[in-house]
Amino acid sequence: MIFSSITFLFYFLPVLLIIYYAVPKKFKNIILLIASMLFYFVGEPKYILLMIVSVLNTYIFGILINKYEKYSKLFLIISLCISAGFLIYFKYIDFLIENINLFLKNKLDLLYVALPVGISFYTFQMMSYLVDVYRKEVPSQKNILDLALYVVLFPQLIAGPIVRYTTVVKELAERTHSFEKFSQGVTKFVIGLGKKVLIANVIGELGTIFLSTSDPSVIYHWMYGLAIMMQIYFDFSGYSDMAIGLGKMFGFDYNENFNYPYIATSITEFWRRWHMSLSSWFRDYIYIPLGGNRVSKAKWIRNIFVVWMLTGIWHGASWNFVVWGLYFAILLLIEKILLKKYLEKLPKVFSNLYTCILVMISFIIFNGNSTEEIMNHLSGLLGLNGIPFISQETIYYLKSYLMIFIISIIGSTPLMKMIVNSKYLKKAQNVLEPIFVVVILLVSTAFIVDGSFNPFLYFRF
């Protein structure tokens, strides 16, 4: 089940909200847990047992780590190995076999293991909980139902954001519900739905069309790069907004996951604004424990490469993701060592253009299905593969998608937020906002009914 489906929007969610607000407070967590397990079961029925085992592992070892301090490190290592073992097996086993066969000239059979949806996200949540218990930042959760709810709560279960236990521990036991909070949640959810259905899906069509073209051009390659750059942003930030909005409807306050990353003026700033729950997770649980930047220069460089290689691998079992991670490692090192002082002196328009071009290149690598395809796109941006600067097909699709390009570029900046919060519209906001939400919901629903199934991109990760 996905958020941008008629089944979820008009059956699952309304029924759940009615039941949730009808039952007494002491039953609300149970209702949410049952609903979340059902939500996951509909999409991944054969992996529901894996989810239950993962929760039991986290619950049992969390208590053991908390109770037996002398052996807490051993218990932490065992529990992390179990969680990581599940992730490695289900996500990477065939990738490992392929590379063993390639390098050792073996002929091991692939296992063709299906990837459980959301395993990268909920595994990181469980691992962060166990580390936080080990660090004594939080006590272990004694109520297994509350811990299970933290892991499987459906808004963030499938594609994040990665929610820290420390963020929601108090709300698992006691949270506030109000009309204001609920309405904020509805607004956030519908905006996320609009991002996904009205922008990401539509602009993603151009990327699909481009991959089958027989009339490429330099401008067409740039259009493709911009299209996938915007599609990935609006798809993933749209899901995050929907998850945050759903959380608010049920009384939970999740941290923002995106902060207008395309207005960044450096790659360093970009990663402070993009997928913030993931970048902060790697910072707190990998980079800082390795020593961060408070070590020798050689070890600091090692730490950067380790973190970004893992970041790339986390996204998928393919070499293009590894290259994507190492690409950012190299860019960040170049910035920190050589370019930082120059970027700070540049006019923001130029430093922002520099950042966006490098990010666009990264997403061409990220989205590539083969080395040949990636190199073709990158050389196409520079006109190195003998293609014309522009073609008739390029002109046709540029005219067709110009408006969605403009909307996506404006939507990726704080401009609309600034206009809405301006003194001229502030007084009318209470009237205009509900109208805006209803219109976006109706138009999005029309697109969903008229369109085909289009899952969130990050379901793959």
- Tens digit of pLDDT for each residue in 369-388? 888 999 999 999 998 888 99
**Phi, psi torsion values for 385, nearest 5 degrees:** -110, 30
CA distances from 451 to 157, 161, 198, 368 (A): 25, 27, 11, 25
pLDDT at 72: 94
**Phi, psi torsion values for 169, nearest 5 degrees:** -60, -40
Q: Out of 221, 275, 315, 377, pick the active-site residue.
A: 315
- Which of the residues in the chain have pLDDT under 50? none
Whether 116 and 220 map to the same domain: the answer is no
Whether 161 and 198 map to the same domain: the answer is no
173/362 Cα distance (integer angstroms): 42
pLDDT at 332: 96
Last-in-domain residue among 137, 160, 175: 175
pLDDT at 455: 58
Contact in structure between 131 and 213 (CB atoms under 8 Å) = no
Last-in-domain residue among 140, 175, 210: 175
Q: Does residue 312 belong to any structural domain of this protein?
A: no
pLDDT at 348: 92
Whether 452 and 423 map to the same domain: the answer is yes
Whether 141 and 207 map to the same domain: the answer is no
pLDDT at 108: 86
- Residue labelled with tokens 């051009």: 217
* pTM for the model: 0.92
Whether 84 and 209 map to the same domain: the answer is no
Using the 8-state DSSP alphabet, how is residue 116 labeled? P
Total count of residues recorded for the chain: 461
266/273 Cα distance (integer angstroms): 11
Whether 166 and 206 map to the same domain: the answer is no
Note down the domain range covering 444.
Answer: 181-265+346-460
Last-in-domain residue among 175, 202, 232: 175
Tell me whether residue 315 is one of the annotated catalytic residues.
Answer: yes
Whether 130 and 47 map to the same domain: the answer is yes
Q: Does residue 82 belong to any structural domain of this protein?
A: yes
- Among 252, 270, 250, smallest CA distance to 261 is for 270
Whether 18 and 75 map to the same domain: the answer is yes
Cis before residue 161, ω within 30 degrees of 0? yes
205/187 Cα distance (integer angstroms): 26
Tell me how many domains the chain contains.
2
Whether 87 and 193 map to the same domain: the answer is no
Whether 24 and 108 map to the same domain: the answer is yes
